[in-house]
Homo-oligomer: A and B are copies of this chain.
Amino acid sequence: MTNPVLVESTRGSLAECLYRGAYAVVDGDGAIVASAGNIERPMFPRSAIKVFQAIPLIETGAADRFGLSDADLSLACASHSGETGHVARAQAMLARAGLDAAQLECGCHWPFDVPVALALARTGDTPGQLHNNCSGKHAGFLCTAVHENETLDRYVAADHPVQARARQVIEDLTGTDLGADACGTDGCSIPTYAAPLRAFAMGFAKLVSGKAVAEDRARAGRRLIEACMAHPWEMSGTNRACLALMQAAPGRVFAKTGADGVYCGAIPELEFGFALKIDDGATRAAESLAAAIIGQAFASSDPDIARSYDALARTDLKNWEGLTVGEVRPVKPA
C-alpha cells in the first residue's frame, strides 16, 4: 500500500514537494474516527510518546517523593529547545534526587532551534548534556531509578529496570508485544519500539478516556498530559510548533513531535488520541498535518477552534529577503 500525499509545499503556481504519510485518530473505544494511509505498518514513535515513557515516574511515586512540579513533569515529557529555563529546570530536577548532569547518558547536541544555538555560541560556551532536548526525560528516568534504589549506570540500556518499565507501559497502552526485532536505538541512546500507528493513537485515547486501561495508569497519564498542556513551553520552546499547537486551545489539546516526521497527541474532551507519520520524516509536513488533524477533530464541536487549527496547518514559505514564495499546506487525500 502506497500512502497518500497528505501535505504539499508550493512555489509559484506549482507543487514543489509532496509529502506522503499516514494518520489515525482513535476514540476511547479503540474505534477509528479518521485515518489515511497504512496505519498498521510498524513505525518508530521516537519522542512523540515521551508521556508513555514518563508514566513510571508517576506510578513509582518518584515524582511525588522528589516534589516535582507540573512544569517539571512537562519537562520530563519534553523535546525542549535547550533554552536557559529548560537547562536550569533539568538541573534542578536532578538535584532533587541528589544528582547532577554527570549521571546523564543522553549525549550532547547543539540546540535544534537556531537562535538558541547561536545565542549559546555567542557566550563562548558549548552544549552539555543538560542542553540535550531529552534531558528532562532523562532526569525523570534517573529520579525513578534513585527512588527504586537501582543502579544508575547504563539506565539507557533496554534491560535496565527503567527501560523495562517504560517498555511495559508502551506494550500495555499499544496492546503490542515489543520484542528485540521491534527495537531501535533513539537519538538519546534509549530503546525506541516500533508498533502500528493506530496503536499509538489508541494508547493516547486510552489515557484521556480512561477506558481499557488500569485506573492508576490513566490517572498518571492524564496528570502528565495536563502538566504539558498547562506548561507547553517546558515541553517544547520558544516558537516551536508543539507550543503553537497547544496554545491555540489552552488546556484542550496535547500535541508532541517526534523525530523523522512523527506527531502524537490527544484531545481529552473528545477522548481522541492521534498519531501520524510522514513517510520521509519531514518535520514541516508533520507539523502541518498535526494541525489539520486537530482542526478536523474539532470541526463539528467547535468550528472556531477548528478554523484556528486549519490556519496553523498552512505556513507561508519566505525566502531570504522575506518574500513569500510559496506555502506548506495539507492536501485532502483523494
Contacts and interface: CB of A to CB of B under 8 A. Distances in A.
Given A108-B320, A185-B319, A320-B109, A281 B16 contact: yes
A82 B301 CA distance: 51
A186 interface: yes
A2 to B, nearest CB: 5
Interface residues of A, number: 54
B18 A280 contact: yes
A280 B119 CA distance: 31
A93 to B, nearest CB: 19
A279 interface: yes
A261 interface: yes
Given A118-B121, A280-B19, A188 B12 contact: no
28 contacts: A2-B2, A9-B281, A11-B185, A12-B181, A13-B184, A14-B194, A16-B43, A16-B184, A16-B281, A18-B280, A19-B279, A105-B321, A106-B321, A107-B321, A108-B320, A109-B320, A110-B114, A110-B118, A119-B121, A121-B122, A122-B122, A186-B319, A188-B319, A189-B320, A189-B323, A280-B280, A280-B285, A281-B282
- The 3 tightest CB contacts between A and B, nearest first, are A107-B320, A12-B184, A11-B184
